[in-house]
Structure 1
C-alpha cells in the first residue's frame, strides 16, 4: 500500500501583531478580560509610562527640555524676547492679575514633525491636533498662574535730582515675552501630557539675562555675564494626567450590560479604539485646576474621582523628576 503523503491543513492562527492590526478593538478587549486585566503593552490599567527628561540640550535658547514618554518624544525650547512698553497698545496696570494674558507674554506653539506618526506622513493633509494642543497649553499657562509677572517686567527708577524730591516709583519700561516652541519628533499617544511636561521642564530651567533700561539711549540693555542670569519664579507645579476609557457599549444592548476600563496614559493603539477620554489637571496642593471629559457615556462620578486620585499620585512622581 502506498504511504499517505497528505499533510495537515495549515493553521489559521494569526500572529499577535497581525491580530492587533486587523482587529484592534477585540485585541485590546481580550487583554482586558484577563484576570487581572493587562494591557497589550504589559502595563496595568493605572500604570503610566516612565518619563525620561533631559534639560539644557539647546544651548541657544534660554531654557529647553526633551521629554520621552514611551515612544512619544517632544522637544520644548523657551526663548525670551523684549517687548517695549511703548509698543503695547495700552500699557496695563503693573498689578493687573491678567497682565501676562493681556499682553500675550507667554506664546506656545506646537508642531508635529513630518513622519512623527503614521498619521503625519508626507503628502497627508495637516491635522488640527497641533492647533488644539497649542490652545490647551496656552490656556493652562495662563489659567494656572504659573509664571510670576514680575519676572517678566523690566523696570527703571529715575534718580533723585535733589534730596527734597520724593523717592521715585519704579516704572515698567519693557517686558520679556517667552516663546515656547514645542516640537514632536515622534508621537505614540497622549500628546498633551508629554507637551505639558516638556513645557514645565523647560520653564524650570529657563534663565533670563539681567535687563536694565538705559535712559540715555532709551533702550533695554542686557548684561552678557552668566552670573547675572536669573531663573524664573514658578508659582505652581501643574501636572496633567490623561485617561482613555475602553467600553464594550453596543447600541443593540442595554447600557447596564456594557463593561468599561479606564486606562492611564494611553498609547496610540489604545486611543484609536477608545471613544472616551478624561484629562485631570492639578497643582499638588489639593487644588484641581480642571477636569475635561470628551466623548462616550461610560464615565461617572466614581470614575472621575478615581482619575483625580490617580493624578495626585502622578503629581508626586512627576514633581520628583522635574529639575
Structure 2
C-alpha cells in the first residue's frame, strides 16, 4: 500500500470519527441499529455477561460484588440493634444509601455528588420494600424493645450503564449472603450482639442462639431497556444511554410477576407493544440472574 492509499484511509477514518462525535445518534442508527449489531457486538435483546461474588467485604454482615459488563457495584449490609417505633413495635427498619465516587465515571466530579445517586437510592428502597423482598417483622428481636436496623450501602465502582439493574442485583446478593448475628440480654436487660471477640459468650439470656440467614420472600430482579423508534435495546451501556434517552426499567420477582415499571427519562411515550417487549426480555433475564445468584450461593457454601 503506497502513501497515497494510507493517507486516503486515514482521511476517511478521521471523517467517520468526526461524524460519530458530531452526530452520535445518526452515526449509531446508520452503523449499528440498521446493521442489527451493537458497538460491543451484542444482539439487541441480549444483556451483558454478569458475575456475582459474595462476601466481598469481610467487616460487613453481608456483602457482594456484582459486575454486569463493566458496570460494577459493591454492596455491604451492616446490622445494628435499635428501638422500634411505637407505631410498629414488631418491625425493624431499612436505610439505603447509593454512592457514586468520582472513580466510577468521568462525568462525576470530585466534591459534587452525582445527581443520579439519591434517585437510585430511593428507587432501590421502594423496590426492596414494595416487592416484599424483606419482611420487616423478620428483623424484630423483642417486641417494642429491640429490632434490627439494616444499613444497605452500595458503591458504584464503574458506571457503564444500567446502574439500577446492577445496584438491585448487588443488594439482593448481599442480602442472600447476610448472616444475622447472635444477640442476648445483658445484666442490665439490654440487647447486645454476641461478638467473636468475647468468645461468643452469652451474658444472660439468648434472644437468638445461632447465626441465621435472613428469609428473602420475593427476590426481585430488573432489566433496563432503551426504546428508540422500533428498536428495543436490553441492558444499555453508558454510551447507548447518553445517545438515546428513552429508558424503561422493568422489575420482576423470581416468579415472573411484575413488581414495578420505571420510565426515568426520554420524551417519547412508551407504547404498549414496546413495554410488552421489555417485559418479555426481562422475564428471560430474570431466569439468567436467578441462575447466576444460585451459582454464587453454591460456590460460597462449598467454600
Q: Give the shorter-chain TM-score range.
A: 0.7 to 0.9
Question: Which of the numbers 259, 262, 266 marks the counterpart of 2:232?
Answer: 262
Aligned to 1:158: none
Alpha carbons of 1:154 and 1:113: their partners in 2 closer, same or farther (altered >3 Å)?
same
Aligned to 1:182: 154
8 Å Cα contact 1:154/1:212 also seen in 2: no
- 1:50-100 Cα offsets, whole Å, 9 max, x none, are 111111021110000001111111100000011024xx4x24253xxxx45
Q: Report the secondary structure of 1:228's partner residue.
A: coil
Aligned length in residues: 276
Alpha carbons of 1:17 and 1:194: their partners in 2 closer, same or farther (altered >3 Å)?
farther
Measured on the aligned residues, the alpha-carbon RMSD in Å equals 2.2
Task: Give the structure-2-normalised TM-score.
Answer: 0.84
Task: Give the superposition deviation at 1:118.
Answer: 1.6
Q: Report the secondary structure of 1:311's partner residue.
A: helix
Aligned to 2:88: 92
Aligned to 2:206: none
Further displaced range: 192-201 or 12-21: 12-21
Alpha carbons of 1:84 and 1:298: their partners in 2 closer, same or farther (altered >3 Å)?
closer
Task: Give the superposition deviation at 1:21.
Answer: 3.6
Task: Give the superposition deviation at 1:190.
Answer: 0.8
Aligned to 2:204: none
Task: Give the superposition deviation at 1:181.
Answer: 0.7
Aligned to 2:33: 32
8 Å Cα contact 1:173/1:213 also seen in 2: no
Aligned to 1:304: 275
Aligned to 1:250: none
Alpha carbons of 1:185 and 1:8: their partners in 2 closer, same or farther (altered >3 Å)?
closer
Aligned to 1:117: 105
Runs of 4+ in 1 over 6 A off after TM superposition: none
Report the structure, 1 or 2, having the larger helix content.
2
- 2:164 matched to 1:192? yes
Larger radius of gyration: 1
8 Å Cα contact 1:24/1:269 also seen in 2: no
Aligned to 2:23: 23
Aligned to 2:58: 59
Q: Distance in 2 between matches of 1:7 and 1:303?
A: 49
- 2:212 matched to 1:230? yes
Q: Distance in 1 between matches of 2:18 and 2:166?
A: 29
Q: Distance in 2 between matches of 1:185 and 1:111?
A: 9
Structure 2 unmatched ranges of 5 or more = 201-208, 298-303
- 1:124-183 Cα offsets, whole Å, 9 max, x none, are x4331101111100111111111122331112xxxxxxxxxxxxxxx4420101101110
Q: Report the secondary structure of 2:66's partner residue.
A: strand
Q: Distance in 2 between matches of 1:278 and 1:109?
A: 23
Q: Distance in 2 between matches of 1:77 and 1:117?
A: 21
Structure 1 unmatched ranges of 5 or more = 1-5, 156-170, 248-259
8 Å Cα contact 2:83/2:144 also seen in 1: no
Further displaced range: 280-289 or 133-142: 280-289
Q: Distance in 2 between matches of 1:263 and 1:118?
A: 24
Task: Give the superposition deviation at 1:19.
Answer: 5.2
Alpha carbons of 1:210 and 1:91: their partners in 2 closer, same or farther (altered >3 Å)?
farther
Aligned to 1:149: 136
8 Å Cα contact 2:89/2:144 also seen in 1: no
Q: Distance in 2 between matches of 1:239 and 1:9?
A: 50
Q: How does 1:126-165 map to 2 (within 5 A)?
A: 126-155=113-142
Task: Give the superposition deviation at 1:208.
Answer: 1.1
